[in-house]
Amino acid sequence: MLSGSINSVEEKWIIFFKETENHERKCQLLKLCEYLFAIPAHNATVERVFSLMSAQWTDERNRLLPETMESILQCQVNYKMTCAEFYKYVKGEKELLKKAKSSEKYGHPSTSAIN
C-alpha cells in the first residue's frame, strides 16, 4: 500500500485516504487528520514571515498599504524561481506583459465597486 519513496507524513495520509474503502471510518479519521495537520508543529514559518515583513516594511517604506505588504510577502514565501528564471518566464508570457504595460494593474478590487 505505501511505498518506500514517500517522503512526508502528509503524503502517506493522502495515499491512505485515497485507497481506504470504509467511508464511515475514513470520514471520522479524515476530520481528525485535518484538525491535527492544521496546527503547525512549530512557529518557524510564522517567524520567517515576520522577519521578511520587517525587512520590507522599513522606515523608508513606511507607507506601504497592508495589501501591498501582503502581496510582497506572498511572492517571497511562495515564489521559488530565481530572478533569471522569472525573467525568462515573463519574456515568454505575452498576455502578462500586455497587462503589466496597461493601467489595469492599478485597479484594486475594493475600489472598483465604488466607481
Q: Long-range pairs for 64-69 at CB < 8 Å and ≥24 separation?
A: 67/108
Are 81 and 105 contacting, i.e. CB atoms less than 8 angstroms apart? no
Is 109 a residue whose pLDDT tops 60? no
Rounded to two decimals, what is the model's pTM?
A: 0.45
Higher confidence at residue 114 or residue 85? 85
Q: Report the distance separating Cα 69 and Cα 61, nearest Å.
A: 10
User: Where residue 112 falls among pLDDT bands split at 50, 70, 90?
Assistant: very low
